[in-house]
Amino acid sequence: MDQQTGLMSLNMSPFDLSPGPEGSGSGGGPSGASQQYVPQGAAYQCPPEQQSFGYANLDASYLFPTGAGGEPGAYLPAAGTVCDQTDTKDVIEELCPVCGDKVSGYHYGLLTCESCKGFFKRTVQNKKVYTCVAERACHIDKTQRKRCPFCRFQKCLDVGMKLEGEFKYIYKSNCFSAVRADRMRGGRNKFGPMYKRDRARKLQMMRQRQIAVQTLRGSLGDNGLVLGFSSPYAAVPVKQEIQIPQVSSLTSSPESSPGPALLAAQPQPPQPPPPPAHDKWEAHSPHSASPDAFAFDAPATAAATPSSTAEPTSTETLRVSPMIREFVQTIDDREWQNSLFGLLQSQTYNQCEVDLFELMCKVLDQNLFSQVDWARNTVFFKYLKVDDQMKLLQHSWSDMLVLDHLHQRMHNGLPDETTLHNGQKFDLLCLGLLGVPSLADHFNELQNKLAELKFDVPDYICVKFLLLLNPEVRGIVNVKCVRDGYQTVQAALLDYTLTCYPTIQDKFGKLVMVVPEIHALAARGEEHLYQRHCAGQAPTQTLLMEMLHAKRK
């Protein structure tokens, strides 16, 4: 089960530039010059026990936080509750997610320390290119953060520090940025509200990921979801990447340069994410508040098949049960797409070539986290005991990933492919196929079937609940609660389909029939991911891998 041996050799990537010994002391190169920073003692290698995991983010305590009384899951706070409990002061006293030093405030989207703020700023502004002489997995902490800027910067990105321009997708304006292309001083960015909102969610999540790593390092297997790892050092991610050598020191004007100054070296501008089309279904609603909702791309397939007769009309929409309306409100597709493209951008930032499979795993992992986040805050689920929650999630996570992708594709026009920051093409569809390209036909068939049924957002969210609240899952303690939830959703879906799609014969029945198909597809994906993981090709210590192991226990 241990992949370590095989991997160690693989890790010696032919793309690794072995940096010559270069004094680390005086005289930083002029701004914009290509640099290879070599940690003191040119051949410094991280001792294994100091290596951090490339994308370690496993954290059972995040998934299932214990209440104050230590009674896990007796009551899981609803969304926002955690937020409210997290006082600003407390947060400020947190540790920098990059190095663990004292946080000095929000910098580039995260609470970080002053030094990492400065480091991140210098790196981005001066287009620094670093090289890691070890395995690109150096442990970064307060005392060692200077040793490997490559890994430090990578960690900055991994924990979520924002490059210039990333917020544009959210706020549609050039004036918000993290590192500012125009170097304008002063002023306050406009994502203050986002900082506040994210304080307890994203940031806490990231932070806890870091903590989880440390916990795991100490006691692997004690407290996690499932811990099937033979070694925390097994399968250091295989990556073939080179940092982009400095081409020129373009001075970019804020107007003309939409992206980070670092874009100078990239073959083509970053492809903006497709407009977040979250409100497709809501767009039909007379209550649709934002005109923006209509500005989004029309759904790929639904638009192709005009469905004036079958789609719910405004009046029918009004008859939708409040529960389903509430369900729909739990969906945050904007967030989904923002994190997707945010991750894709940050992971390919300053990289010539990244391992696309590894990247896909990272995206899936992130999706999984939002999946859990979503589930944790939903009715029916959040009152269950942790053990039950775990079992339900372990059983349905891949199904939900597949379903989500179908939803993103059908209702938000998610394209099949996107061009990464570094020019590589990333197969978005693969996310829905859980990495198995040969499932594409099956996936498309499924999608067509759903399109024929005029599968819409309420359908989607109901089916998602049906996947999650599966009373058949073995070992559930509170089966009644799960079954009640399942049946309630089932009834709501039936009612919805009858009310809003009376012309589609047995839409409900047909939708239910699709569930096993989704499951079959997801199962094949899981198997594939597991195999790749065993072959050492997938990042370890991720929630994704945890889930894969969980089922096999």
Partner DNA sequence: ACTCAAGGCCAG
Partner DNA sequence: CTGGCCTTGAGT
Q: What does the alpha-carbon distance between residue 424 and residue 421 come to, in Å, rounded to a whole number?
A: 7
On the 0-12 / 13-18 / 19+ scale of CB atoms within 10 A, 520 is middle
Residue with tokens 């009834």: 491
What is Dmax (Cα atoms) for the chain?
76
By beta-carbon proximity to DNA, the closer residue of 27 and 286 is 27
Query: Minimum distance from CB of 346 to DNA (Å)?
Result: 15
Token duo for residue 33? 């010059």
If you count them, how many residues does the chain have? 553
Of the two residues 101 and 517, which places its CB atom closer to DNA in the complex?
A: 101
As a whole number of angstroms, the distance between CA 115 and CA 108 comes to 13
* Least spacing, CB of residue 120 vs DNA, in Å: 8
Question: Toward DNA, which CB reaches closer, 145 or 454?
Answer: 145
CA-closest candidate to residue 218, choices 84, 344, 49, 82? 49
Nearest distance in Å: CB 116, DNA: 7
Select 2 or 22, whichever has its Cβ closest to DNA: 22
Least Cβ distance, residue 373 to DNA (angstroms): 23
For 155, the 3-state DSSP assignment is helix
C-alpha neighbours within 13 Å on the C-beta side of residue 176 = 17
Please state the closest distance from residue 155 (CB atom) to DNA, in A: 13
Minimum distance from residue 193 beta carbon to DNA (Å): 7
Q: Residue 361 in contact with residue 367, Cβ under 8 Å? A: no
CB-neighbour burial class of residue 551 (10 A; exposed 0-12, middle 13-18, buried 19+): middle
Rank residues 35 and 394 by Cβ distance to DNA and give the closer one. 35
Closer to DNA by CB, 184 or 295: give it. 184
The SS3 assignment for 72 reads strand
Interface contacts to DNA, rule CB under 7 A: 28-29, 35, 37, 101, 105-109, 113-119, 121-122, 125-126, 128, 145-146, 149, 152, 164, 175, 177-180, 183-193, 195
Whichever of 94 and 316 has its CB closer to DNA, that residue is: 94
For residue 247, the 8-state DSSP code is -
Residue 212 phi/psi, 5-degree rounding, is: -60, -40
Q: What's the closest the beta carbon of residue 327 comes to DNA, in angstroms? A: 31
Contact 475, 385 (CB under 8 A): no
Q: Closest CB to DNA among 152 and 411?
A: 152
CA 341 to chain centre: 9
**CB-CB contact of 526 with 398 (8 Å):** yes
Instruction: Kindly state the tokens that stand for 269.
Output: 């501008």
| Tokens representing residue 257 in the block | 């340069």
The alpha carbon of residue 128 and the mean position of all alpha carbons in its chain are separated, in whole angstroms, by 26
| DSSP-assigned letters across all residues of 254-293 | TTT--S-GGGGGSSSPPPPPPPP-TTHHHHTSTT---THH
**In the bound complex, what is the minimum distance in angstroms from residue 114's beta carbon to DNA?**
4
CB of 529 to DNA, least distance (A): 36
Alpha helices in 349-385 (DSSP H): 356-376
Nearer to DNA, 338 or 424 (CB): 338
Q: Is 503 helix (H, G, I), strand (E, B) or coil?
A: coil
What token pair was written down for 277?
């089309």
**Of residues 58 and 124, the one with the C-beta less far from DNA:** 124
CB of 31 to DNA, least distance (A): 7
* Closest separation in Å from C-beta 38 to DNA: 10
> C-beta of 276: minimal distance to DNA in Å?
22
Q: Which is nearer to DNA, 126 or 266 (CB)?
A: 126
Q: Which is nearer to DNA, 35 or 422 (CB)?
A: 35
367/203 Cα distance (integer angstroms): 16
Instruction: Select from 217, 240, 212 the least CA-distant residue to 543.
Output: 212
